[in-house]
């Protein structure tokens, strides 16, 4: 297979990020295969392993003043009589490795990373920045254009999201270490975080994009970054980024009041702002900011226990998720039962499953409560595992 692949690094990198290449083998972790593509270049001939910075330093300690593979080293202040016995054993091993064909080393390495997904993940994340630096501008542009198509592929969503670590996590960790930075659109990073459990990696890359865009931050970066902060309940970070992205002092006042738990005042400011907008007194409010007003008005109603108001609003706008919450709080079991019909058995939220049990309990159907509870617990465990920062994502 290796002989049939292009013998050029740029072409192999383009293949790795091609949907046509990955999709046929998407049922397994693609990263070990991607590493095979890269390491395969080193075994096309019988070239020996090349010296490293470590080996050149060791040689310089034994033979000061001589030029080695990494240049001249200043060792004039080193007592060679003390250092030589320590270095000779390592140097002997390095000399043995220097005579080893590269393909023998690669074959041994393949046996490790094909059997340990975390090794493959860390190896790719360490290797990719060097590959990116060596790639041509045309190859970099090709990767940046083709990569956003991968998160949208239903095959990848079905199989990759169940792997730990998964290929998208490996790709993003490698991207986050590259110079020059890999250009990935903010909305793509948000989709990756939700579909492939990449919240912390996506936030890191969005923060880098935000820092690079200052002092004129881009709205798309701020909007996606604040959404991910809120998904992780990072309320202070969310408030600061949402305030930076706002265009009106009313919005910033609401965010500040909520941060201090002054929900009554925040709701009054929101209500007044919405009335002024409807009368045309506040022109040109961005759609994202109008959505933020509605979300925070709903949140204030919940905090202030205004479930009757929220229930009427939900009925008028066919918001069945809100109807579920309000009907449970108001003990309106018939309304709860009716609204549950709008959620299928594969609902992604755990709330309908738990509230289904509330309705069953009200009907004294205790024996039927077991399966909905198990389904809700499974959803919550999956959501928790997707937001925890694991060591291999750092």
For the chain (length 394 residues), average pLDDT per consecutive 10?
Answer: 75 85 69 88 66 49 46 47 63 68 81 90 92 93 89 74 81 92 92 86 93 89 94 92 93 94 95 91 88 94 94 91 88 82 64 63 60 64 57 53
The whole-number pLDDT of residue 304 equals: 95
The whole-number pLDDT of residue 75 equals: 43
> C-alpha dihedral over 90, 92, 93, 99, to 10 degrees?
140
Sequence length of the chain is 394
The whole-number pLDDT of residue 91 equals: 66
Quick one: angle between helices 31-39 and 167-176, nearest 10? 60
The whole-number pLDDT of residue 375 equals: 66
The whole-number pLDDT of residue 149 equals: 84
The angle at the Cα of 146, spanning 203 to 124, to the nearest 5 degrees, equals 60
pTM of the complete model beyond 0.85 = no
The whole-number pLDDT of residue 58 equals: 46
272: its two tokens: 């007044």
- State CA 119 to chain mean position distance: 19
Residues contacting residue 258 through CB under 8 Å, at least 6 positions apart: 239, 266, 296, 299, 300
351: its two tokens: 């709330």
The whole-number pLDDT of residue 70 equals: 43
The three state secondary structure string of 282-310 is CCCCCHHHHHHHHHHHHHHHHHCCCHHHH
Residues contacting residue 136 through CB under 8 Å, at least 6 positions apart: 10
């Amino acid at each position: 297979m290796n002989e049939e692949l292009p013998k050029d690094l740029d072409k192999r990198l383009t293949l790795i990020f091609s949907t046509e290449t990955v999709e046929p083998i998407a049922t397994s972790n693609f990263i070990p295969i991607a590493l095979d593509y890269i390491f395969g270049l080193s075994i096309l001939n019988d070239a020996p392993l090349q010296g490293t910075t470590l080996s050149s330093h060791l040689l310089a300690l034994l033979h000061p003043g001589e030029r080695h593979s990494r240049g001249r080293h200043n060792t004039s202040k080193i007592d060679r009589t003390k250092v030589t016995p320590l270095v000779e054993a390592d140097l002997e091993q390095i000399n043995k490795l220097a005579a080893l064909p590269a393909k023998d080393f690669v074959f041994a390495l393949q046996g490790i990373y094909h059997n340990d997904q975390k090794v493959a993940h860390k190896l790719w994340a360490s290797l990719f920045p060097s590959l990116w630096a060596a790639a041509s501008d045309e190859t970099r542009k090709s990767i940046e254009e083709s990569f956003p198509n991968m998160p949208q592929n239903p095959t990848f969503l079905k199989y990759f999201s169940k792997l730990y670590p998964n290929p998208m996590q490996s790709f993003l960790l490698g991207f986050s270490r590259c110079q020059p930075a890999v250009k990935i659109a903010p909305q793509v990073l948000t989709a990756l975080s939700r579909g492939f459990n990449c919240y912390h990696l996506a936030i890191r890359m969005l923060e880098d994009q935000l820092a690079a865009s200052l002092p004129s931050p881009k709205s798309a970066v701020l909007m996606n970054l604040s959404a991910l902060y809120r998904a992780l309940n990072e309320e202070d970070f969310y408030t600061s980024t949402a305030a930076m992205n706002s265009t009106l002092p009313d919005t910033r006042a609401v965010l500040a009041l909520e941060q201090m738990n002054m929900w009554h005042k925040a709701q009054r400011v929101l209500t007044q702002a919405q009335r002024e907008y409807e009368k045309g007194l506040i022109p040109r409010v961005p759609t994202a900011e109008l959505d933020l007003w509605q979300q925070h008005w709903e949140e204030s109603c919940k905090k202030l226990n205004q479930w009757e108001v929220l229930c009427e609003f939900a009925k008028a706008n066919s918001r069945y998720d809100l109807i579920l919450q309000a009907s449970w709080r108001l003990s309106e079991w018939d309304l709860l039962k009716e609204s549950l019909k709008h959620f299928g058995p594969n609902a992604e939220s755990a709330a309908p499953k738990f509230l289904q049990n509330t309705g069953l309990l009200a009907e004294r159907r205790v024996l039927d409560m077991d399966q909905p509870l198990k389904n809700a617990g499974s959803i919550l465990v999956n959501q928790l595992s997707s937001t925890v920062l694991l060591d291999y994502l750092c």
